[in-house]
A and B are shown apart, each in its own frame.
Chain A
């Protein structure tokens, strides 16, 4: 008898605690925008978040406000998962600034959503943690040279349009290894980073060849072991090999083999289940591409707002000609978000050239990453 009473008491207290959680947890995030981190704190989101959505709608707020776009705007800061150790894509410069191609897309998103390109918290995430970081919602967006695959699309998050079309390659030290094709690498030890598509492609490519994979979870040990001679070759996306090679003691000794082992479309990823936020991420990428196509860049965007008569440009820049209705993108952003964004980080070409183009140590050809009008793959749907 005392046992059943005991469990009854337990249940009662439990119920009390549960309801108490439900009542109190949402209040900081929902009503007070001043709170810096309403829902992203992992400990809180585990305990309090489940009851967030229903309580908020009870409180009479419009339903979409529970979405990530509102969360980011309330927080006043975008949490962007980046690589952090990849020169040209995201890397700390001498001033401690996170710079690079991926980092600039984080800034573009922050400028579009918050009006401030510097309102970004960069989180360095290693390859293995990418999926869980998205799945748990710890980051708002992952812009970390991540390859788009079907299983990642369904398990990790929604892939926004590709920002960088890449392919996997293999690099060898030409002073030690005499090889020009991958087949000549039979029996070699090959350094590779775990949790990547590269790791899987390597296994595919060498299915019929004998080799030894040396696998590290972090990017730095992978290249340190290769440079120290633990491996005969190292494999990754071509852009990454080029970028990391610049940091070697003798960059000229290292040769990237011609063969392209795989397709590696790299792009931003938004957490699953939030269409509104996914649309924002998607159109931020498209807008940088469209801006390049329309000849809008950071230097002339202010003039374009004033002078352009082109309706395509006017819609993109949120300009409403007299006598017409304002164009509604439906993205939930300010009408002139593209102006803010392009003014802050520039169009696709500017972002590319600043981080990877001629004048940088990497000097990567645009190649596939040209506009469709220049025989590339960049193609933005109409903004209307």
Chain B
């Protein structure tokens, strides 16, 4: 196309050997190929829908769901709408993913460092853990954790009890639950007072910093003041009471309960993802040049200080991008919850698809929700990544 506009002055190159033409041609072919693929898929989707007589709409979201969900962070009953049920599933997924990511990161770092430990036993334990967990399917692990570990805990009648307030049995773990009392609002006044003390102390300290006689430790004194005031308020008023779990006819009620489904899923996800994160961390640490460690040692830093102040900040830059993938994997793997009865997004979506007879809109909703979760996670991690990269210089 550009050939005619600007003919080469030298000996005429035939168009099939002209790099400029070839480049454009390659682009055109690529665009056509992608366009064809998209059009083909869209057409398949549309024809398949109409052929099966499947409707496509989201009207069902406003209808009453009619099925129950075993655990929910927000109040839910079968009379609520499908939309609410979907939200419950989403919150459950976010809940287990969020806690899972935090715990997997902690465990992963420990494992990664242990893999490089000079201690033979620690090193071996860490690498056995990584190899066993990383090379078996997560679904199998979940089944084992749920059926062979959590459901084999003692029955309710034989619950393991710690100090009469924490109970462990095959129906879950039950701990005293904090309940706000009437004194909570008055107590907030004490908190405000404490913060006032701290702010005042810092203001004075900052003001004196510029003069010739700075008062050292004033800020620390401010913190102490905050703590004292808040504690006095706590003791005097008692803003929070703890409700103990009590044995009812079938199970413990009251307090905070953690279901074995949630516990098994969380354990599985954390153990599985931590094995991968451990390898990412090990790789990141090993990528820091040896000279850095030697220099740190020469400066007299201890082993721990070397790791914390020299190696880790540099390793972090290498670790963060692959770490993001692991976080995404964890969030997506949480959909295996369906196998062990934890009502996550996918599980609730399946039930919705089945009960409404509208699988395609529901699957589309579930997919786009997972996509949104992943993209947001990526975005946050990318922002973090950019921040630590800037620190490089």
Contact = CB atoms under 8 A, between A and B. Distances in A.
Q: Do A and B share a complex?
A: yes
Interface of A: 2, 6-7, 9-10, 13-14, 17-18, 46-47, 49-50, 127-128, 130-132, 135-137, 151-152, 154-156, 176-177, 186-189, 194-195, 199-200, 202-204, 206-207, 212-218, 221, 224-225, 228-230, 232, 272-273
Interface string B50-80: 0111100000000000111110000000110
A131 B352 CA distance: 12
Given A14-B39, A17-B40, A135-B54, A213 B68 contact: yes
Contacts of A152: 357
A343 B343 CA distance: 48
B125 interface: no
A194 B357 contact: no
B347 interface: yes
A187 B251 contact: yes
B322 interface: no
B355 interface: yes
Nearest to B52: A135
B248 A195 contact: no
Contact of A216 (B40, B67, B341): B341
Nearest to B358: A155
A229 B170 contact: yes
B171 A230 contact: yes
A199 B348 CA distance: 13
A213 B51 CA distance: 37
A18 B359 CA distance: 27
Contact of B52 (A9, A47, A137): A137
Nearest to A2: B1
Given A6-B31, A136-B52, A195-B351, A131 B357 contact: yes
Interface of B: 1, 28, 31-32, 35-36, 39-40, 43-44, 47-48, 51-54, 66-70, 78-79, 147, 151-152, 155, 170-171, 248-251, 253, 260-261, 338-341, 343, 347, 350-351, 353-359
A136 B48 CA distance: 8
B68 A195 contact: no
Given A131-B354, A136-B52, A194-B347, 5 more contacts: A46-B48, A200-B355, A207-B79, A221-B147, A230-B171
Contacts of B261: 214
Given A202-B68, A230-B171, A176 B341 contact: no
Contacts of A18: 43
B69 A213 contact: yes
B152 A187 contact: no
Nearest to A210: B253
A210 B39 CA distance: 51
Q: Which of B40, B79, B250, B353 has the most CB of A within 10 A?
A: B250
Nearest to B43: A18
5 residue pairs, one from A and one from B, having the closest CB atoms:
A155-B357, A195-B354, A203-B78, A50-B47, A228-B151
Contact of A215 (B250, B343, B355, B356): B343
A75 to B, nearest CB: 19
A217 B48 contact: no
A217 B357 contact: no
11 contacts: A2-B1, A10-B36, A18-B43, A50-B48, A130-B354, A194-B347, A200-B67, A213-B69, A221-B147, A225-B341, A230-B170
Given A50-B51, A195-B351, A203-B78, A132 B359 contact: yes
Contacts of A213: 68-70
B52 A127 contact: no
A20 B307 CA distance: 64
B347 A217 contact: yes
Contacts of B52: 135-137
Contact of A199 (B36, B39, B351, B357): B351
Contacts of B355: 151, 195, 200
A224 B67 contact: no
Given A189-B250, A213-B69, A272-B53, A229 B351 contact: no
B370 to A, nearest CB: 18
B354 A187 contact: no
A151 B253 CA distance: 37
B154 to A, nearest CB: 9
A17 B36 CA distance: 9
A10 B79 CA distance: 50
A273 B53 contact: yes
Contacts of B69: 213, 215
A231 to B, nearest CB: 9
Nearest to B65: A203
Contact of A187 (B248, B340, B350): B248
A299 B51 CA distance: 44
Nearest to A135: B52
A156 B341 contact: no
A232 B169 CA distance: 14
A188 B359 contact: no
Contact of A189 (B53, B79, B171, B359): B171
A194 B354 contact: yes
Given A213-B69, A225-B341, A194 B359 contact: no
Contacts of B354: 127-128, 130-131, 194-195
Contacts of B359: 131-132, 135
A81 to B, nearest CB: 14
